[in-house]
Structure 1
Amino acid sequence: MPLCFTFIILRKAFGTIETGAFLEALGYQGVPTQYIKIFRELYSNFTTRISPFCDDITIDVRRRVRQGDTVSPKLFTATLEDVMRRLEWDNMGVRVDGRLLYHLRFADGIVLITPSISQAERMLADFDDACGKIGLHRGRQEEDNEHQPPCPPLQHHGSPCFDLRLGDLGVT
């Protein structure tokens, strides 16, 4: 069976999620209302004051999920889980032990698993659309590959295989 793996890295994952998106995701996942109210209070009406040249300036800080905060990975994961649940991919992916498998998630990265490039393109477009609604965006290919050493050509039983990257799909 042919397989197509599409590797996605989310750009500045924690810092781009809209506050309303993670609050809504927590509600859909059964988090008690009192906790959601606490998060809403923590993430709204937040200001800081600076005093350049003895002149106080109050700045409204528009916070999103903060990097370094111990709860940030959980808020990000809950929000991404909500995105994945809303996608209509019931007939997508590959069958493994009778169940459809269409993605694997790792921190701020996702691997889409499909039997064809056309299905991968459709899923990638759906994913981009859903993520864009909550402030998440894929990193550009150059960013994704920036810190990776060049890979040697793939070979299978001594025959060269091609190396397909997102850019080959016309995705930037």
Structure 2
Amino acid sequence: MAAELCAAAARLGARPEARRGSRPPIASLDRFHPIGRSTTTRLEVPVENGEGFRAGRGWLASEAWGCRVAEGGGRLAFALSLEAVTSSLTLAVRLVAPHRIGCSVTIGTVTGNLAPDERRAFLCPIEPDASGSVSVCITSSPLPGSALSSCGDRVGIEGFKIRHGEAD
């Protein structure tokens, strides 16, 4: 077991994306990227499960369905292949509202409201930088007259998808 751990650590350390300050993981166009907890038992956690796209500390513990955004907001970070970068791209983020309260959500430049228990995709225009990297902040707050009482009262994210074209 120790040899397996050492070998995996050496492989992960040798990959450029495992180094601090490197380019975020690549997201595919027109493919849903779930953000939920990985169920893999392998040492190398595949990026396909979406955990690699959650950047920073703005996330609560992931669950099988997705992940809730912590106080102060979370950040999705991903890269696109340079061939996929066009002048108009849209990020669709599938959100899950808290169980007991409605909330206001901001994703990048787009703000909207969710009713209690509502599940809906928010569409946000994105502009990758010159290297194809994208970073989008997601924040939420209770609607007037509502108050947070637990971690379950935070907006959750099931996953995201990127497509060509402008947000509708």
CA radius of gyration, larger in: 1
Higher helix share: 1
TM-score, structure 1 length as denominator? 0.24
TM-score, structure 2 length as denominator? 0.25
Higher strand share: 2
